[in-house]
Amino acid sequence: MSNITTNRSGEESPGSITSVNFKKQGTGAPIILIHGLAASLFDWNDLIPALANSGYCAYALDLLGHGKSLKPDRLKDYNIENVYAHYSNWIDSLDICEPMILVGHSLGGYLAMKYALTKPDRVRALILADPFFSLNQLPFLLRINYRGPVISATLIKRTPEWLFRRVIDFTSLSIRNGFNLPEAVRIQTAADYKRAHPGIFNIAHTIEDPIPNISSISQPALVIWGDRDQTLAPSSFSTLLKTIPNSRGIAIPGAGHVPHQSHPAEFNKHVIDFLLKH
């Protein structure tokens, strides 16, 4: 585990690379792993060793406000531009000389696409797992909720971890259509919610739909999702397949919003097979 702590100004700011907690494993072609909202680099516990064993160098970070990375105090600092700047500057700090493969889940998928659009020469290929790119993908109530700032720092800070754990257990059974996530994953998910700054829940309403621009993404792209995703509408992912010219899609039967955690063996196989071709 690594942590970038250098900042020229000596102050922590959302767009700096200060306090970027990340993990690096393996040698070979570089792969950047980007988790989703209220998650952490631990989301990739199953994929990282698979990549390393297949001859790749995997880098996974905690995004701004998540895990052990920088957590600004001000709620207004939690917007997509600051999250992107923090993540993009971190990548630049790694001094990777060759084009990278970006793997992004949910919000991480949005960040991967944004990086490919902003710095196309730096990206070799994209793997987008249940990517979040529009509020219209969300269920109606969540969509309305995310139209503006939705969360109170006081409320989250006062919520005990055991209650988050009960929520995760419930959603594992209901939202994921009866599929039980492994015990270790449920514990990790509850801990990630508690470790994250409450401001992260205000990020969603600040994103801009990338669909008008992503037709310019020329890199090979794999869009992979759970066909029982009830966080983001599975039908929405076909929009990416129609818009990204060199893309292909795979739906994992029986998986929900986190197929890389609920069905790691199948997810990893699809990822490695794609990488071997690109």
pLDDT for 130 equals 96
What is the side-by-side order of every strand in the sheet holding 100-105?
A: 2-4, 20-25, 56-61, 29-34, 100-105, 123-129, 221-226, 247-252
pLDDT of residue 91: 96
Per-residue confidence (pLDDT) for residue 86, from 0 to 100: 96
Q: Which residues pair with 24 in a beta bridge?
A: 59
Nearest Cα to 215, choosing from 249, 248, 244, 238? Answer: 244
Predicted local distance difference test score (pLDDT) of residue 194: 80
Residue in the block written with tokens 């419930």: 170
Mean pLDDT computed over every residue of the chain: 85
CB atoms within 10 A of CB 258: 25
Domain chopping of the chain, boundaries: 2-277
Give me the residues of the chain with pLDDT under 70, please: 1-18, 141-159, 161-180
pLDDT of the residue at 183: 81
8 Å CB contact between 64 and 14: yes
The pLDDT score that the predictor gives to residue 9 is 31
Positive or negative, the CA dihedral 39, 40, 44, 45 is: negative
pLDDT given for residue 156 in this prediction: 56
HSE of 74 in the Cβ direction (CA atoms, 13 Å)?
A: 7
pLDDT of residue 202: 86
> What pLDDT does 165 receive?
54
pLDDT of residue 197: 87
pLDDT of residue 102: 98
Burial label for 209, CB within 10 Å (0-12, 13-18, 19+), is middle
Q: Say if CB 80 and CB 208 are below 8 A apart.
A: yes
Predicted structure pTM score: 0.88
Specify the CATH number for 2-277; select among 3.40.50.150, 3.40.50.1820, 3.60.10.10, 3.40.50.720. Answer: 3.40.50.1820
The residue whose two tokens read 């990416």 is 240
